[in-house]
Structure 1
Amino acid sequence: MAMAIALSERGRGRTGGNPNVGCIIVKGGIIVGRGWTQPGGRPHAEAMALAQAGKAAKGADIYVTMEPCAHKSERGPTCADLVKDAAPARVIVATLDIDERTRRHGIDRLGDAGVSVSVGLLEQQAHRAMAGFFTRMEKGRPHVTLKLAMSLDGCIAMADGTSKWITGDRARAHAHLERARCDAILVGAGTVAADNPSLDVRLTGLEKRSPIPIVLGKAEIQDHWQEIAEPEAIAGLDNINWLLIEGGSATAASFLKANLVDRLLLYRAPILIGGGLQGIGDIGLGSLDAAHGQWTRLDRRDLGQDMLEIYERAA
């Protein structure tokens, strides 16, 4: 299942409104098929893995990060039917589908066909890997990551706005990888006016995975950009599961104040600026007590001389 979850990450930011599912088919201790949701949402992970496995799927174990879909679609057959027809011995599911059109219908259809089904293996990890889909279904908006590249004293630029470069090459490369894993990227109108950013992915081989650029507020933008008036307007972004916020202390503060940030990426460079521009503006904190217990650290790693810390909002 851990391998299936890792495969699901390949589809992150490329599946539109669909979940980025991963699937592994094992028979006799050998992987005979693997798949992940393809760009645009089709083929689904199970369809890809079953096509690779062929007849070897009969009597095999199928590990899938989300319950196979069971609702009809003009885009192809249901995965529950594909899996059922393949006649595996077992289907191991990490998490149920949150979509009521499928929830429990997929596993029930398999169980009625005599297939052994279990649910819950590495559920938390699978849910986190598909958090964009779950957030959109549960909250009606994309999953939001706020990225900040800062000095040790919390500055994102010199007092005159100079910000190239606070972090080193490895940290910047990692930030571009994060861009490639998102459907869209957002900055404030002030950042657009000051920097005219391209917001693309500049990693060899991943250039085509550049996210949709979005600006918060009024700005002179190119045709392929989108514009929203307020943070809450992200609920109206179509087929976007993963949103990355970069640039602008006011923009960062506005999303935090609106309680719309699910994940933090903090890149810290071993420098002190003093008197520079702070990374986050006023978020309307009423008391210091209210600041505690809001975030849980998931990871901390060195990227050259810089440090990356990853946090998610506490449940």
Structure 2
Amino acid sequence: MENKHRKYMELAIELARKGLGKVSPNPMVGCVIVKNGVIIAKGYHCYFGGPHAEAETLKSAGGRANRATMYVNLEPCCHTDKKTPPCVPKIINAGIKEVIVAMKDPNPEVSGKGIKTLRHYGIKCKVGLLQKNAEELNRAYIKWITKKMPFVILKSAVSLDGKIATRTGDSKWITSRQSREVVYRLRSQVDSVLVGANTIIKDNPSLTAHRMGRNPVRIVIDPKLKIPLSAKIFNTNLSQTILITKEQNKQSAYLKRLESRGVRLLKFLTKNGRINFKQIMYELAKDNIASVLVEGGGETNALALEDGVVDEVMFFIAPKIIGGRAAKTPVEGEGIDRISQAINFKFT
């Protein structure tokens, strides 16, 4: 099966990728319809709340879809409790004879039900072609829908000797303009960017995509409410800003000023003086945030890693030596006593 159908599924996955940064928390889905060895229609899910890939492609194919084969990187949906109508009835009504699916939808409301319904109506279904590719593409969606937590990427720019700033705190710029543009593009592809209060105080960043695409939700952790009201993230409406602080902070003139500027407040109970990152991530997932880019300093990064929420680490390494025992590193905190306690990742 793979040799005959692979190129069409590769195209479906390529089309699906066009929805990156536009359809979340929905999955990215691409669809290709083939008849007698010829592609007669193709499409993808373009934006959240918009038509699904299968519906768009069937609309483009029209009557030619009858007795054709459909390739789709995710199982067609069959549930009705959502913004758009289900795709399975459309596939049945169009007369599609076979559906090749890369992976089942992990959403419990679908999870095999779409395939079962198609087979019930006599449509052949094959599942698993390029499944790993499909899972990698929608890794954020998979984690969000199955674990009720966003996919978390920890990003840092470091020197060859593992420093993110000099002993005086100077960090502009360790890496190149090209590296920063990659980060801006990455911001446009995730749902949110998260930093700690010290990053805002020291660098006063806007945390936007710098016209590379959609701006992410900006999240800052500030338990002690020490960020000045003049900070850029509190004074620009380029995207939503969320301030995470501790439950013990009473309503104050400072917080009222932030709320009047559209800043959303999330309060959490602290333990040992800090907010647990898992609590934060569970709450963000409820707000349909399926991916988070952590761009904090050493302390914020250390806490995220310690609490076990990080899925991927991305280091931009510059050919520079900074030195200095007091220079900042990308992961600080208490650290570990033995190498066996290290947090392990795999190169990809």
TM-score, normalisation: structure 1? 0.87
Aligned to 1:279: 330
Q: CA deviation at 1:14?
A: 2.3
Aligned to 2:221: 216
SS of equivalent residue, structure 1 residue 244: strand
Return 47-56 or 115-124, whichever deviates more: 47-56
Q: CA deviation at 1:67?
A: 0.6
Q: How many residues align?
A: 294
Matched to 1:248, the amino acid is G
SS of equivalent residue, structure 1 residue 215: strand
Matched to 1:234, the amino acid is M
- Of 303, 320, 324, which aligns to 1:254? 303
Aligned to 1:266: 315
CA distance in 2, matches of 1:4, 1:21: 8
CA distance in 2, matches of 1:37, 1:137: 18
- Counterparts of 1:145-184 in structure 2, within 5 Å, are 145-184=153-192
CA distance in 2, matches of 1:168, 1:186: 22
**Structure 2 vs 1, CA of residues 270 and 117 (structure 1 numbering), >3 Å: closer, same or farther?**
same
Q: CA deviation at 1:283?
A: 6.1
**Structure 2 vs 1, CA of residues 274 and 284 (structure 1 numbering), >3 Å: closer, same or farther?**
closer
CA distance in 2, matches of 1:277, 1:143: 26
CA distance in 2, matches of 1:76, 1:254: 39
SS of equivalent residue, structure 2 residue 183: helix
**Structure 2 vs 1, CA of residues 91 and 198 (structure 1 numbering), >3 Å: closer, same or farther?**
same
The structure with the largest alpha-carbon Rg is 2
Q: CA deviation at 1:38?
A: 2.6
Contact residue 256 and residue 283 of structure 1 kept, 8 A: no
- In structure 2, runs of 5+ residues without a counterpart are 1-8, 246-274
Q: CA deviation at 1:17?
A: 2.6
Aligned to 1:244: 293
1:10 aligns with 2:15: no
Aligned to 2:54: 46
CA distance in 1, matches of 2:157, 2:221: 19
Aligned to 2:241: 225
CA distance in 1, matches of 2:309, 2:209: 24
- Of 62, 86, 104, which aligns to 1:78? 86
TM-score, normalisation: structure 2? 0.80
CA distance in 1, matches of 2:31, 2:83: 19
1:56-81 CA distance string (max 9 Å, x none): 22222211111101101363321111
**Structure 2 vs 1, CA of residues 286 and 54 (structure 1 numbering), >3 Å: closer, same or farther?**
farther
Higher strand share: 1
Identical counterparts, % of pairs: 37
CA distance in 2, matches of 1:136, 1:105: 20
CA distance in 1, matches of 2:17, 2:304: 25
SS of equivalent residue, structure 1 residue 239: coil
1:4-34 CA distance string (max 9 Å, x none): 2222222223223322222222223333222
Contact residue 228 and residue 234 of structure 1 kept, 8 A: no
Q: CA deviation at 1:51?
A: 1.8
Contact residue 17 and residue 41 of structure 1 kept, 8 A: no
1:167-216 CA distance string (max 9 Å, x none): 1122111111111110111111111111111111124xx34x11111112
Q: What's the Cα RMSD here?
A: 1.8
Contact residue 13 and residue 241 of structure 1 kept, 8 A: no
